Amino acid sequence: MKIKSLILFLVFLLEFNSIIAQNFNDALRLSDPDILTSARALGIGNAYLSISNDYSASLFNPAGFALIKKMEFSGGLNYNSFKNEVQFFNRSSNYSATSTNFNQFGFAFPIPTIRGSLVLGFGYNEFKDFNKAMKFSGFNSSNNSLIQNLTNDNDDIAYELGLSYPVYDGNGKYLYDETRINGKLNQSGNIIQEGGLNSWQFTGAVEFQENLFFGFTINIINGDFKRNREYWEDDVNNNYPMQLLLDPNDQATADFQSFYFNDIIRWDVSGWNAVLGVLTKVDENVNLGATIKLPKVLEIKEFYTVDADAKFGTGKKFFLDPPIENRLEYTIKTPLEIGIGASYSISGMLIAFDANFIDYTQMEFSDGFDSRDLENKNRDIKEVFREAINLNAGFEYALPFTGITLRAGFIFMPSPFKDDDSEFDKKFITAGIGFKAGARFVFDAGFAHGWWKDVGDNYGSNLSRTFQSITKDNLIFGIKYLF
């Protein structure tokens, strides 16, 4: 393997962060709300801010705990299916991923009082699922590639694999790297993401005065995230034949065949936040609720690895030996969320509406970077994102004398990116059913089907872009036991 000077190698190690630089997508990954809740709440479109009369109040409006009259246990199981159809250079690929997890268990404890109510709660919720997958393949006839991108960034990966070579001036001084690769390669890959965010929750609520309730929740957050990306560039049309050496001084670099790039990112996440809520019963039919979800302060321990290789028709295969590893710790703060909701109930029927305001420009990196890098990252956030209002609507009807309740709802989550078209907004239709078995058991099932579009770049901007049509299904089963 060819070796540059030790000084250049050290420069490579110092500058490698430019390849894996943390950016606004990492902040959004932790800030964008998910739809994971309880089976009943999901069935009515998560329009729950003004209802919240069970343990799910810990996820929505902790003031609703004060409506709980009996000690209860709640548990839930979530099945998630993520499907993706990708258009990439006029070729279509389909991929999917599924996950199943216990997403909730908790207790609510009403405390005897002379008047009003006091209720405490403790439990666990999985509130975000990172389960995603994507696969793509297509011929890029343009004059660009990841190999060229790495070379233009003066990155040593292309050099170490025999895909680029150093250029020197007349005095033998190193100037830059150059590659004879000029696009026209088949590009393919797959990306698999997994993990989630969970919280241990401590909740308290009190009836401050008649029909006026206040509550708070403290969330102790932990979780993990893993993204495994595999990417190939193949010379399927023999544009780089045997007579072409990618390194003029190395015969082994003739007849380029393929380039493989694999990067894996792993996170360990920990942090906390608090939720404040108020709920009032205007009369026996109408409830109003409001919440403030304080920013989550999340500590990220990141472990990043890169492996790569290149194959040539000469029989030579260059490896990245050893694979590159990078560790980093930093902090991300998510934006404040403000929610309001209203519900109307009469004769076994309930209608509910919620609106949640999120200013995504308030996402923030802090700690773990120098001051200039922090300023650049946070400036990018303000330039790319906007405010958004998520909307929820739901309907519930208890069939008389059966113990069965039917539910339906809709969730609308506009894209947080500036100037995005409506096709990038997330839309979900929901449905659910509940069954009360005797005086103690309640069984619920909630289902949500969502759809939206997304785009992604393998490198650069709109040079090697995937266009995704995404569907997501969640099915949650819940059980509640009243003591």
- pLDDT tens-digit series, residues 339-371: 999 999 999 999 999 999 999 999 999 888 999
Mean pLDDT of 430-445: 95
What integer best gives the mean pLDDT of the chain? 93
Provide the pLDDT for residue 367. Answer: 86
Tokens 């403030």: give the residue.
292
Band the pLDDT of 420: cuts 50, 70, 90.
very high
Per-residue pLDDT at 5 exceeds 90:
no
Provide the pLDDT for residue 116. Answer: 83
Q: List phi, psi (to 5°) of 245.
A: -95, 125
219 residue type, one letter: N
Q: Look at residues 459, 375, 454 and name the one whose alpha carbon lies nearest to residue 417.
A: 454
- 296 SS3 class: coil
In 91-211, the DSSP E strands lie at: 91-111, 118-129, 132-140, 165-168, 174-178, 185-209
Mean pLDDT of 97-120: 92
Residues facing 281 on adjacent strands:
287
Mean pLDDT of 188-204: 96
Per-residue pLDDT at 325 exceeds 70:
yes
Alpha-carbon span 463 to 459, nearest angstrom: 7
Alpha-carbon span 339 to 293, nearest angstrom: 8
The DSSP call for residue 182 is -
Tokens 């058991």: give the residue.
441
Distances (CA, A) of 171 to 82, 95, 175, 413: 57, 53, 11, 60
* This model's pTM is above 0.85: yes
In 248-348, the DSSP E strands lie at: 256-281, 286-293, 297-312, 317-319, 324-333, 337-346
Provide the pLDDT for residue 285. Answer: 96
Provide the pLDDT for residue 2. Answer: 35
pLDDT in tens, 247-279: 999 999 999 999 999 999 999 999 999 999 999
Band the pLDDT of 20: cuts 50, 70, 90.
low
Band the pLDDT of 153: cuts 50, 70, 90.
confident
Residues facing 224 on adjacent strands:
196, 268
358 residue type, one letter: I
Provide the pLDDT for residue 8. Answer: 33
Provide the pLDDT for residue 7. Answer: 32
Per-residue pLDDT at 35 exceeds 60:
yes
pLDDT in tens, 49-75: 999 999 999 999 999 999 999 999 999
CB distance 215 to 65 below 8 Å: yes
Diameter of the chain measured on Cα atoms: 94
Where is pLDDT greater, at 319 or 153? 319
Provide the pLDDT for residue 470. Answer: 97
Alpha-carbon span 294 to 337, nearest angstrom: 7
Provide the pLDDT for residue 140. Answer: 97
Structure-token pair, residue 217: 């929740």
Instruction: List domains and CATH numbers for the chain.
Output: 6-482 (2.40.160.60)
Provide the pLDDT for residue 15. Answer: 34
Alpha-carbon span 292 to 81, nearest angstrom: 30
Per-residue pLDDT at 11 exceeds 90:
no
